[in-house]
Structure 1
């Protein structure tokens, strides 16, 4: 089961991974966008990570809501509203859980809610070369995994997101600034999809760490 510690670790790892790939994301966006994706996202997630250190949270929902509000207020461009909405919907889905811990089914609900939020805010569907391609592939992979282990759900989601992001290279952009390039956008990865894959990879890493931590506690108890 995944709890508030996992949710905080997810976002802190996201901040670390986005920072490590900041220049890559800037370069990807420079080719088909306005070049500020890596900088904006890094600023936003650093603010989230800093805020998590200074605040106390009782549930994953509270962590997600804080992340949403911080991203909405600190990330410019389209990414702030899109990812802010994703985490706001994730918070709402997590709030509906009558437990401080999230199961595999809860994890699927959170993924679904986040994707729906992104699609409703951005008016995008899979295949248009946006972050939706990573999130939708993540949800499909997680559902197909049919796991009762929440850690496995996030591992499947991360793997799906990575494939979804990679697939954007062959797509013609239909949304955002990249769409102005038309067919010239083919051959380039979508920066929003790539960053989303990194964020979901962080969720999986945090879940693995949580599972290992719980296993160690069980061993210590014996």
Structure 2
């Protein structure tokens, strides 16, 4: 029998076969194994239940309670009632009650019973969460370090990264003048704005249809930054400038693409701080390779998965022909071509990640794309960006001063 007062974990008395627990003692003690049941009364959406589960788990953690099993499902409903209930089982206490009071009998393992296979169609599988507080602290620390790595400075505020703040490596080390860089960026942004409809069309076939809008938001944000002076090519080193660009796209784009660009620009900025070089080609290629390598630690996407990474990989690690290595214009045109070809190659790839992996081929949208294979919109957007940048660099008349 369990009696609980209204004072939370305190005031519980459990009695079985003469075993009595002190009512003044906390029923759940530090280190006790627990099981969490989150019951949907019938009218809560899966999205809301997921959010509730995270809140409950976080609240339990503040009390030092870390469930070894977590179940979330409509176990006992009340038609479509918009509510939920929370139940917590102290496995350690129950084992003590059952096993310690029945010497000579085979001990009962509640976790093994719950994990045992069953053909009961309404019983769902478990979720295993981290058990130790230290492991949660480590996860939070890692997350904080990641956020700091992709964080950006506000307008006019010096970079928080000392490497970025004090680097003196000029734009010429990358093979461009500040004017060419600004022209290129404006050209890239305008190219993305012009490609919005096409990107939306591609993403609607296999995704959620927002890729064009996402790229356009980022482009408008960067153009606004250039117009207002938040982004100042001439007054910033390449590393500091890329850091600021990363901040803008992180805030404006959102979604997976926004996160990818934010991490990539942060890693690119850091890579440019490894020291100046007299060879612009080496500076560009090595920094881009390092940025791509850093990005790969934050996304499972790899070339061949039908994502933006398919176009990003040849941009960051191109196999440059000898003639392109000695002529900048040839190199720029070569870069445009290989990135465009990589984006084109995604037309015939099967998606392995994201929503496109289960919508389209064999799915409800197959009929709409039966006569035309669309490329991955992220890869196509990157190709448009690269092409626009090169056209901007080459077009002296587009210089804004």
TM-score w.r.t. the length of structure 1 is 0.83
Take 1:121 and 1:95, find their aligned partners in 2: how far apart are those partners? 21
Q: Does 1:30 align with 2:216?
A: no
Q: Does 1:127 align with 2:304?
A: yes
In the TM superposition, what is the alpha-carbon distance from 1:65 to its structure 2 partner?
A: 1.3
CA contact (8 A) 2:292 2:313 kept: yes
Q: Does 1:144 align with 2:320?
A: yes
2:272 to 79, 94, 116: 94
Take 1:102 and 1:144, find their aligned partners in 2: how far apart are those partners? 15
Q: What's 1:115 paired with?
A: 292
Higher strand proportion? 2
Take 1:29 and 1:138, find their aligned partners in 2: how far apart are those partners? 22
CA contact (8 A) 2:188 2:392 kept: no
Q: Does 1:194 align with 2:383?
A: no
Take 1:148 and 1:47, find their aligned partners in 2: how far apart are those partners? 35
**Residues 38 and 170 from structure 1, CA distance in 2 versus in 1: closer, same or farther, beyond 3 angstroms?**
same
**Residues 111 and 153 from structure 1, CA distance in 2 versus in 1: closer, same or farther, beyond 3 angstroms?**
farther
Take 2:181 and 2:226, find their aligned partners in 1: how far apart are those partners? 10
In the TM superposition, what is the alpha-carbon distance from 1:11 to its structure 2 partner?
A: 2.2
Q: Does 1:46 align with 2:244?
A: no
**1:58-101: CA deviation from partner (whole Å, max 9, x where unpaired):** 222222111111111111211101012222222222333437x9
**1:16-58: CA deviation from partner (whole Å, max 9, x where unpaired):** 0000111111111111110001111101111111112222332
Q: Does 1:105 align with 2:279?
A: no
Q: Which range is displaced more, 80-89 or 116-125?
A: 116-125
In the TM superposition, what is the alpha-carbon distance from 1:106 to its structure 2 partner?
A: 1.4
Higher helix proportion? 1
CA contact (8 A) 1:7 1:63 kept: no
**1:102-131: CA deviation from partner (whole Å, max 9, x where unpaired):** 712112123323433443332211100001
Q: What's 1:153 paired with?
A: 331
**1:122-162: CA deviation from partner (whole Å, max 9, x where unpaired):** 2211100001111113345x333240444443332221110
Take 2:192 and 2:236, find their aligned partners in 1: how far apart are those partners? 26
1:51-70 equivalences under 5 Å are 51-55=225-229, 56=232, 57-70=235-248
CA contact (8 A) 2:206 2:360 kept: no
CA contact (8 A) 1:134 1:197 kept: yes
CA contact (8 A) 1:7 1:64 kept: no
SS in 1 for 2:358: helix
Q: What's 1:216 paired with?
A: none
Q: What's 2:113 paired with?
A: none
Q: What's 1:75 paired with?
A: 253
SS in 1 for 2:251: helix
Q: What's 1:219 paired with?
A: none
Q: Which range is displaced more, 169-178 or 195-204?
A: 195-204
Q: What's 1:205 paired with?
A: 391
- The alignment covers a number of residue pairs equal to 209
CA RMSD of aligned residues (A): 2.5
CA contact (8 A) 1:94 1:110 kept: yes
Q: Does 1:7 align with 2:185?
A: no
CA contact (8 A) 1:104 1:148 kept: no
